[in-house]
Amino acid sequence: MIVISYLFGSIPTGVWVSKLFFGFDLRDKGSGNTGSTNAFRVLGKKWGIIVQLIDILKAYIPVAILSTLLVKDISLFGLDYGSSFVIVQMLSGIFTVVGHMFPVFAKFKGGKGVNCILGMFLGIMPIDAATGLSMFIIVVILSGYVSLGSLVAIVCVPLSLVIRATVFNVEIPGFNILLSYALLMVVLLFYSHRANIKRLRAGEENRFEKIMIFKRK
C-alpha cells in the first residue's frame, strides 16, 4: 500500500497536462508549482479544475478504495482489525502526499499537497474533511487567498474531530489515532506553505480577486 500510494501521489497531473495540451512545463510558469492553484492561473479555469479533481482522486483511490480491496484481516501492533486498517489508510495517505510533493515521475519537484490531503481525508474522515472544505471555500471567497484557505481548512479538521467527540459525544473509532494523524497533516501542510505564510505576513501573497465577494477598490 505504501508503494502503490507513493506512485499514485507521484502522478504529476499539472506537469503532464501542461506538456500534453500546452507544450510547456507548468513548473516553468507562474509560481512554478505543479498544483491546481498554479494550473488555474496559467492553464485556465477548465484545466485547473481537471488538475484539481485528479489530484484529489489520486489520494482518495488508494486510501478509500484500494486499501479496502487489498488489505484483509490485518493486525498491527496487537491492535484489532478496525484500528489496524485505519493505520494502513493513514500510511497510505501520508505516502500519497509525499509522492505528490516529491514525485518520482517529475524529478521530485511537485506540489504542496493540499488536494491530496483533501482526497485522503475524504477517504478516512469524510465529515471532518467536509468541514475543512467548507471553511476553505468561505475563507477563499472572503479573502481571495487560496493559501490562507488551505491553512484554515487543515486546522479545522482536527478541531472538527475534537468537537464531535467531546461536545457532541460522537463515538469515533480510532479517535486518538485519527487526531494524531490530522495534527501531523497540519504540520506537513504548514511546512509546505512556509513561503506562502511569509508572503501573507508581508502582504505580498497573490489573490484570486475574481471569486471574492468583497473586492478591494
Does residue 18 surpass a pLDDT of 80?
yes
The C-alpha angle with vertex 143 and arms to 140 and 148, in degrees rounded to 5, equals 60
Do both 108 and 160 map to the same domain? no
pLDDT in tens, 33-89: 888 889 998 999 899 999 999 999 999 999 999 999 988 888 888 888 878 888 899
Q: Which of 147, 1, 134 is nearest to 61 (CA)?
A: 1
Given a contact cutoff of 8 angstroms between Cβ atoms, the answer to whether 26 and 42 are in contact is yes
Angstrom CA distances, 34 to 30, 40, 119, 144, 213, stand at 10, 11, 17, 20, 27
- What pLDDT is stored for residue 28 in this prediction? 93
Q: Is residue 160 part of a domain?
A: yes
Q: Is residue 90 part of a domain?
A: yes
Q: How confident is the model at residue 132 (pLDDT cuts 50, 70, 90)?
A: very high
pTM: 0.88
Given a contact cutoff of 8 angstroms between Cβ atoms, the answer to whether 37 and 128 are in contact is no
Domain span at residue 78? 1-112
Q: Is residue 120 part of a domain?
A: no
Cα separation, 57 vs 123, in Å, equals: 10
Do both 2 and 89 map to the same domain? yes
The C-alpha angle with vertex 101 and arms to 97 and 102, in degrees rounded to 5, equals 115
**Is the model more confident about 132 or about 174?**
132
Q: Is residue 139 part of a domain?
A: yes
